[in-house]
Chains A and B, each alone.
Chain A
């Protein structure tokens, strides 16, 4: 979304003001109609989430006895607390959090470094290496899954933080995005910094990174979301329930006991919460990153 306070876009009823008589009423009608349309669409989009909240709050047996109404039945307000503190989910959430932080921080570091080399330094094979880096975008984990699981198994990294994170410590998307930010640093600024005696590290940290902050922020948000929402890989490198990340743990739900189904659903909502917060707080950065690379859970 854009920065300006007034959202961009055509005003409603932007017909020439000359159509004076009766146009105020006409405009009012159009406004009402437009808000109705917006609200209906919003309700449709949010309906599945609303029902999930209803389901989480309702006592399972009472809810199905009431023939699944649109409102909660026999509300248990403490369900979220119970879900959050249940052994499995607490451990899974902690695991997810550590994995996400490790991956995000590492991707930031490796991407900034690589982007710096490609943007500011001259070295043999630069074009070839850049091509090889970018080509990894064609090798998603879905393609390399089988050999990578084998590698991780051979390394003894099943059911470990290394297994969860190491294959994702670098990403070409980050290199690409941050390099875009770096190359827009004016050449004069680089020259001025050289005369000021800045070495590579100092220039990177004090000039390049601050100036590329918007794109770095966008990438960070993107990296965080992607890591948190991962499913295939974490599922593939765990054989013990203790090493299920929050997303993977959700797959147990369909087979959960009906009596505690509400706790499971509440858990799903809790798992969605961190990214929802990120979405609300970093909306602008997220949009920038998404439209640049696109995220997937």
Chain B
């Protein structure tokens, strides 16, 4: 087993830079998820590990070995493709066996790699088939299998190679919702049992949050943040991560820090909510201080990070906002009008119009739901406020 290290790795296709200056240490044995929207470079990064794409600049290592110019078959990695990439004309047993027929392996204790004996191959195939419940299907062709079964065959083919690293490219995206949830748990279980490093590419944050040891968030070829699910969710490093992770996404407002530096002022008339995926340049001008939609007081840490009187972007997750009850003490809050209520059974998402844009508020379903059209004040949880620099979109405090 081994980790994978990207050291200033860049991948260019002509004029287009798919991956820019990527530094990433994937620790031996971890389940690392490369997460990002389509076109963010995550698949390219994965394919560079596999050796299916050349590296334009930088160094890529698997374990201690620099693999920039190593042939894919000699990298000791196995890959599960989104389309599963099963050979349609070969039966399941042959598909699972395919990495074992040509490649050479270092069998336990032995020093030089060699081709496996027939017996060794069969042991591995049987083992993988048993692990994934594929024994009844070994003689079938992929065309005669369900989507879930094909996915298992693809996994089995990766497992038999006993690689140092598993590479998975959106392996669940072709499954229906129910099967996806089930397979997610199985993959986590599988990883726990084999303990091999997994690099897993997805655009689905739920997959990332539920499976990852750590998540690496990418956007436009650049690494945005690496961390556990909690870290990227609770302390997003920038506006992109804040907006990309979480459903509904984090609410954001353009605001001004008060002159005493102890609160932020959200003004009416400014198109306050930001598209988190858009670059920093689109931060709108804040309106006049005289027409205030709300004020939020800052804790000590935040107050230390901002410049009094300066511009700032405020982010609050939907679950960190609640509608102020009649009995609550009047204090900080944002004024708005209820625009829509979505009741989802276990929770409700209330859409509130604030300063011309819609803010999502998540609340428990057993609490009384507000009527549409009612004027409300939204109160943030004490530790639920995130601040970002409008210029760099980096996190403040």
Query: B335-352: which have CB < 8 Å to A?
Result: none
A195 with B50: CB separation less than 8 A: yes
A196 with B83: CB separation less than 8 A: no
Contact of B79 among A189, A191, A202, A211 (CB under 8 A): A191
Nearest chain-A residue to B154 (Cβ)?
A: A192
Q: Is A188 an interface residue (CB 8 A)?
A: yes
A192 with B88: CB separation less than 8 A: no
A192→B154 CA distance, assembly (Å): 10
The secondary structure that dominates the A interface is helix
Q: Is A117 an interface residue (CB 8 A)?
A: no
A195 with B77: CB separation less than 8 A: yes
B103 with A191: CB separation less than 8 A: no
Q: Is A253 an interface residue (CB 8 A)?
A: no
With A194-B52, A194-B73, A195-B50 in contact, do A188 and B102 touch (Cβ < 8 Å)? no
A191→B79 CA distance, assembly (Å): 9
Could you give, for residues 68-89 of chain B, a 1 whenever the CB lies within 8 Å of some chain A CB and a 0 otherwise?
0000110001110111110111
Q: Is B249 an interface residue (CB 8 A)?
A: no
Query: A117-168: which have CB < 8 Å to B?
Result: none
With A196-B102, A197-B73, A202-B102 in contact, do A191 and B87 touch (Cβ < 8 Å)? no
A198→B87 CA distance, assembly (Å): 13
Q: Is A186 an interface residue (CB 8 A)?
A: yes
A193→B89 CA distance, assembly (Å): 14
Nearest chain-B residue to A186 (Cβ)?
A: B83
Contacts of A278 in B (CB 8 A): none
Q: Is B98 an interface residue (CB 8 A)?
A: yes
Interface centre among B77, B78, B99 (most CB of A within 10 A): B99
Interface CB pairs A-B, < 8 A, 20: A186-B83, A186-B85, A188-B82, A188-B83, A188-B84, A189-B85, A189-B87, A191-B50, A191-B79, A194-B51, A194-B72, A194-B73, A195-B50, A195-B52, A195-B77, A195-B79, A195-B99, A198-B102, A206-B87, A210-B89
Give 5 closest A-B pairs by Cβ, nearest first: A197-B73, A192-B85, A197-B102, A197-B103, A188-B85
**Interface of B toward A, CB cutoff 8 Å:** 47, 50-52, 72-73, 77-79, 81-85, 87-89, 98-99, 101-103
**Interface of A toward B, CB cutoff 8 Å:** 186, 188-189, 191-199, 202, 206-207, 210-211
